[in-house]
A and B are shown apart, each in its own frame.
Chain A
Amino acid sequence: MRKLLKYLTKNYMKETVLAPLFKCIEAVFELFVPLVVAGIIDGGIGSGDKGYVIKMCIVLVGLGLAGLAFSITAQFFAAKAATGFAKTVGNALFRHIQTLSHTDLDTLGTSTLITRMTSDLNQTQTGVNMTLRLLLRSPFIVFGAMIMAFTIDVDSALIFAAAIPVLSVVVFGIMLAGMPLYGKVRTGLDRLLSRTRENLNGSRVVRAFCIEDKETSAFRAENDVLTADQLTAGRISALMNPLTFALINLAIIVLIWVGALRVDSGILTQGQVVALYNYMSQILVELIKLASLIITITKAAACGKRIQSVLESGEGMTGGTETDGFTGYKYAVEFRNVSLKYSNAGDESLSGISFTAEKGSVIGIIGGTGSGKSSLVNLIPRFYDPTSGDIYINGINAKDYTLDALRSKIGVVPQKAVLFKGTIRENMQWRDGNASDEEIMHAIEIAQAKDIIDKKKHGLDCEVAQGGSNFSGGQRQRLTIARAIVGSPEILILDDSASALDFATDAALRKALRSLENTTVFIVSQRTGSIMHADKIIVLDDGQAAGIGTHSELLESCPVYREIYESQFRREGGETA
């Protein structure tokens, strides 16, 4: 949290100091009010001087006006500091997230990052705003009232000095006792939420197994627990008002009794007793405000901490200085004894993989679910670094390239086909911002996506909704393939990217990809049909290379490949095409 505050003090120092300062000045005006009223009683009423009374009331109006002016100024500074703070932190956070590596993203989790960028940041902004406005003001009034009481009469003021600590203990004690209980309530709510969601998403399963009644009674039991927790938490915070009320009144009783004795002996006047009484009432009001403020601040501080932890997280990934590699080198990609173990994983996802990919060749990668296919291709653009072994691109270790240079050599079509808000043209220019319409259309033709553009009235200017939701899965998949081809990448990776395409389109796509002469293509698939014509096929089984070779070689030598092939092409008489 302290490190986050740096963003506040560095850029908005003036506002951060002035806002509470002006608030305190306003509080001073407020503190003068009981004194003025004491003056009215002792100076005006005592001597029957109406002129004095009117003069004093004008002073009251003046104090109100001055207070208004100072407090508006303070509100402005507080709002400025808080919104500015949120902006700077937001920018820093977004920038930081852009530097995170894939490993960092996996550990942090996308949904957490999004809530931290949105609701956590908002809560922090509110917290800063309220803190600047009120955190100093309330204690200032409490202690100010006490000090004013001391200026009136030291002995009576000692009652203040005794009452304030007791009240603080009560207020903070109740809050501290309540906080963990509210945490419990949150957890209970989360439980209800997940059960509700489960029953909605799994309505068919719930009904097919006739467990409606069982689920309903489970929900009721959880709901009862939640209600009980809410009541316990509520019972504690229900103490706050009655206790402070009783304590303040107790203090007032003592105060007036002491005051009466001292007036009797001629040390105090009647007006001064009224003033002391008023100060005590002011303290009550402020303490209640302070309590609710502190809840807001604790929440904001918790959110701030969550933001801070993201800012401090992540090792990122650093690149080297190389940009091109050896020109004319035979192999576009070489794996030398590469192993990969994800952080927090028990076992290696890839172990001891070695192979070479000649420039312009097509490499197929096949294997069962979880065999490591995606992990293998993710190493090429350094989304992850191998735990041991090395990868060479154009004869140079992948780690020696700058990240930008490395990744701009590679076109990636991820499994999840997402497009981004904007026009189709904008989406197609992701790899190459200057790509001409001809280049884009060429890529679109290779990706078998021409009919999509032809059907749209605005062609490349057609708007894409967020995530590409206005296109079907198959259309999105073909467009993401086109996006990766624009700008003729040296290496093209299709990570199970043709799953939504029918057999004919898939075949046409593979044929068209062959025309990219200078591009080395990696095709990851579960379908033997998609990779059997590749120049080299890598068969993965549990992270190990079970076989590397051409289709006919592997049918001979690799039992895993043969099993996969036969499970997909089991035909009468066992004939293969």
Chain B
Amino acid sequence: MKNKSTLRKVLRYIKRYILLMILSMLLAALTVAGSLYIPIIIGRTIDLIISAGKVDLAAISGLLLQTGAVAGVTALLQWLMNAINNRIAFDVVRDIRNDAFRKIEELPLSYLDTASTGDIVSRVISDADQFADGLLLGFSQLFTGIVTILGTLVFMLMLDAWITLAVVVLTPVSLLVARFISGKTYSMFRLRSETLGEQTSLIDEIIGNEKTVKAFCREDESIEKFEEINERLEKCSLRATFFSSLTNPTTRFVNSMVYAAVALFGALAVIDRGASGGITVGELSCFLSYANQYTKPFNEISGVVTELQNAFACAARLFELIEEPSEQPDPQDAYVLTDAKGAVKAENVSFSYVPDRKLIENFSIDIKPGQKTAIVGPTGCGKTTFINLLMRFYDVTGGCISADGHDIRQITRKSLRSSYGMVLQETRLISGTIRDNIIMGKPDATEEEVVSAAKASHAHSFIKRLPQGYDTVIGEDGGSLSQGQKQLLCITRIMLCRPPMLILDEATSSIDTRTELKIQDAFAKLMKGRTSFIVAHRLSTIRDADVILVMNNGSIIEQGTHDELLARGGFYASLYNSQFDSVS
């Protein structure tokens, strides 16, 4: 059932290459015909080589030339077929991969936040790769295999029906044997992969934390544990490997029985020749080479089928990702927010990540252009969620948030998001040069702009000390940069593109307190006249905010300036004072 719909989806991708497909099948049929025809010509030639003096050299040279021509053309067609198959398989997988990646950029964050990165990556990379392998194998072996079997049958029937029957009856035995063995070894392999999994997780745990192991002198205990599992692994691995390796010798044995049967019936038919049909010696040799050719695709096909099943399972996982619903697209007449003034208003907003657990409820605020708003509260109170809503990473479930008087759901995501500059606690850098990372929001920035932005964020001095300065290539997610340095780079990005509104979510959490103080000045300059939202643990950094929102359990419990809130002696005041309690 499931395989069927996957097949349909695969076919949809292949459809683009339908002409190549047809060509490939045509070539496969021709190739098989050619390679089956050669033994027949050779057989005829052998019939002309009877004994001394009784050899028709003229006819033989003609037949051999024919063989050469057929072999040459067949080889050429086979090469063409291989090249076409490669093209179809790799192009199809490229298309699927492109669609999968595009999907990643369109998926709602609610999906990405809950899905495991490793799982999606393995779909786009290794599943797609395995699918390409399977598809290629399927094209090149499954189809030719089937055509070979059918073609051989036809050619053999043309030569002699009885011998053909003997071959047809005996051959499936090898398939049965193979199936029997793989059925028996299945449980052995499962035990093996379970034990292997157990070993891998021990390795992961011990070597992944080797320094801790060493600190506690636990090396010997770890070795003991490892060797115990390894001993078990060897035993079950041996069983699985040995029993599965029986397939080849036994199928080969069955094949040699087929061969013997053909030799027996064939030779007898040659001796009885003349009475009722019978065959010639050349035809016998042709039969023998068919017997070899005929059994081979059977063995191959059973391998290909498993491979194809695997490939389809991989494809199904890819399609699962591609068919995931995208973020709701912007409405047709969506407003394009330019030069935002920065009036942000939330009216009766409610939101929850999971339907039955309300996170934010009846949340209303009215922020005037240019105001500096700080949001504080204990972990899990909804601070970061509020930011997610502002940027439309998530949409409100009730109520409405507006920017410059427009419901943000009526504004294009692109224009809304580029109106905000965002620095998060969790820094993300892309692999590329330092400069690439800084100019993300403003690709056409000049060198002077970049440097002055870096100076403002106090990143210039450490960038200067890197081997290639601004052109230093950093690896995936910042490579060897420290957490604090990465955060400085993220701040530089914002200093460069200077968007009309700012969101700083624990933007300086990894920077030591001395540098932080210096950056605060730069931030203060940047925030002047800009609407800004600041989330911070260290309350000292938000004292000069125009309005402080104190959140708890998803709603605003206090609101006012630092002095007002302290004077009120409520939640904020106790939060603020607790930072100093440990001192006294």
Contact = CB atoms under 8 A, between A and B. Distances in A.
Contacts of A277: 42, 46, 285
A60 B259 contact: yes
A239 B86 CA distance: 12
B242 A79 contact: yes
A430 B218 CA distance: 7
B78 interface: yes
A8 interface: no
A260 B57 contact: yes
A564 B514 contact: yes
A84 interface: yes
Nearest to A241: B78
A64 interface: yes
Nearest to B234: A87
Contacts of A79: 238, 241-242, 245
Nearest to A503: B582
A238 interface: yes
Given A72-B246, A196-B125, A87 B231 contact: yes
A235 interface: yes
Interface string B553-576: 000000000000000000000000
A114 interface: yes
B42 A252 contact: yes
Interface string A73-111: 001101110111011001100110111101001000010
A208 interface: yes
B513 A568 contact: yes
Interface in A172-211: 189, 192-194, 196-211
B468 to A, nearest CB: 14
Given A189-B125, A256-B60, A466 B263 contact: no
A33 B94 CA distance: 48
A302 interface: no
Nearest to B120: A200
B42 A53 contact: no
B219 to A, nearest CB: 4
A22 to B, nearest CB: 11
A208 B237 contact: no
A19 B29 CA distance: 41
Contacts of B102: 216
Contact of A37 (B199, B252, B263): B263
Q: Per DSSP, are chain A's interface residues mostly helix, strand or loop, or mixed?
A: helix
Interface in B178-214: 196, 199-205, 207-214
B418 interface: yes
A137 B346 CA distance: 78
Interface in A252-281: 252-253, 256-257, 259-261, 263-266, 269-271, 273-274, 277-278, 281
A208 B74 CA distance: 57
A1 B234 CA distance: 21
B578 to A, nearest CB: 6
A166 to B, nearest CB: 15
A330 B578 CA distance: 39
Interface stretch (A39-47, A143-151, A351-359): A39-47
A517 interface: no
B86 A230 contact: yes
Contacts of B264: 53-54, 57
Nearest to B209: A418
Contact of B249 (A33, A45, A75, A198): A75
Contacts of A65: 253
A128 to B, nearest CB: 11
Given A80-B238, A98-B222, A569-B583, A113 B207 contact: yes
B8 to A, nearest CB: 24
B230 A63 contact: no
Contacts of A60: 256, 259-260, 263
B402 interface: no
Interface in B390-434: 391, 393, 413-414, 417-418, 420, 422, 424, 428-431
A257 B424 contact: no
Contacts of B207: 97, 110, 113-114, 117
A249 B584 CA distance: 95
Contact of A567 (B414, B422, B517, B582): B517
A118 B578 CA distance: 49
Nearest to B132: A230
Contact of B579 (A87, A403, A503): A503
A412 interface: yes
A402 B165 CA distance: 79
Contact of A197 (B117, B216, B227, B261): B117
A227 B391 CA distance: 37
A430 B256 contact: no
Interface string B496-533: 00000000000000111111110000000000000000
A425 interface: no
A94 B226 contact: yes
Given A83-B234, A99-B219, A230 B51 contact: no
A207 B71 contact: no
Interface in B277-319: 281, 284-285, 288-289, 292
A75 B71 contact: no
B72 A246 contact: yes
B248 to A, nearest CB: 8
Contacts of A100: 210
Given A53-B267, A86-B237, A467-B205, A368 B515 contact: yes
A20 interface: no
A571 interface: yes
Contact of A189 (B129, B223, B292, B581): B129
Which among B46, B511, B516 has the greatest number of chain A C-beta atoms within 10 A? Answer: B46
A133 B94 contact: no
Nearest to B520: A567
Nearest to B505: A204
B161 interface: no
Contacts of B60: 256-257, 260
A431 interface: yes
Interface stretch (B168-176, B356-364, B449-457, B475-483): B475-483
A61 B53 contact: no
10 contacts: A57-B260, A91-B227, A102-B214, A114-B203, A117-B207, A198-B477, A210-B414, A281-B289, A403-B217, A529-B583
3 closest cross-chain pairs (CB), A and B: A266-B52, A238-B82, A567-B513
Given A57-B267, A196-B121, 15 more contacts: A79-B241, A86-B237, A91-B223, A117-B207, A129-B245, A194-B476, A202-B430, A204-B109, A204-B393, A219-B98, A231-B90, A238-B82, A245-B74, A246-B71, A369-B483
